[in-house]
Amino acid sequence: MILKSSSFLIILSAPSGGGKSRILNEILAQNPRVEYSVSYTTRAPRGTEQNGIHYHFVDEAEFAQRIAEGDFLEHAKVFDKYWYGTSKSFIKSRLAQDKHVIMDIDVQGAAQISLSDIPYVKIFIMPPSLEILKERLIKRGTDSLEEIARRLATSESELKRIPEYDYLVINGDLRQATLDVMAIIRAEENRSSRYLEPGKGFLNKE
């Protein structure tokens, strides 16, 4: 029997407004093997966001306690305002059940995970141009013009870290970008390094 350990963490990063959340939701809807890692954050809910579904919304005191307890696989302060963190125990439990876990995090958090023992694939998603990114942020209608300007400035530093990622997907069309990410997941499932001594398993007659 040929044995395989093919579950892994799928990390999606993008500039704010790059479309990673929409792609993530499409993946969850189309692939039952993939589960979403609900991050912790100290920011307030936006629009129709719900606690425990979109994020675990906590105050800074609880977030600091979880850091002290070693509960986060990664954590970072974004825009020098809000903390975000990922539950280590949740991810390990799902991987042990042969599930993939998908998450959308910033480049700081992705860099921290790269230093862990969790198997992962890192995908950076970006729109075709800065003008399109700005247009998407304005249409979203959740941020002030000042906040949008800050997010655009931050995106420039994020783009410099693309070489740290395994894959780059240009999100000019949501459907195509989703197909590209799904193809990456499928290819990673069949990476030879995820098979456990395939030659030996093939020759084993039991």
Burial zone of 181 (CB within 10 Å; 0-12 exposed, 13-18 middle, 19+ buried) = buried
Domains of the chain, residue spans: 3-203
pLDDT truncated to tens, each residue of the chain (206 aa)? 666 778 999 999 998 878 888 999 999 999 999 999 998 999 999 889 999 988 999 999 999 999 999 989 988 887 788 998 998 888 999 999 999 999 988 888 899 888 888 999 999 999 888 888 778 777 777 777 787 887 787 788 888 999 999 999 999 899 999 999 999 999 999 888 887 777 776 677 66
Looking at residue 1, what DSSP letter applies?
-
Stretch (H or E) spanning 87: strand 82-87
Strands 100-104 and 82-87: unpaired
CATH topology of domain 3-203: Rossmann fold (3.40.50)
Query: CA 139, CA 142: separation in Å to the nearest integer?
Result: 8
* Torsion sign, CA atoms 96, 102, 106, 111: positive
Contacts 24+ apart (CB under 8 A), 150-154: 150/79, 151/15, 151/16, 151/17, 151/79, 152/15, 154/15, 154/16, 154/79
Query: CA 7, CA 33: separation in Å to the nearest integer?
Result: 9
Q: Which two tokens stand for residue 162?
A: 């693309």
Q: Are 73 and 91 in contact (CB under 8 A)?
A: yes
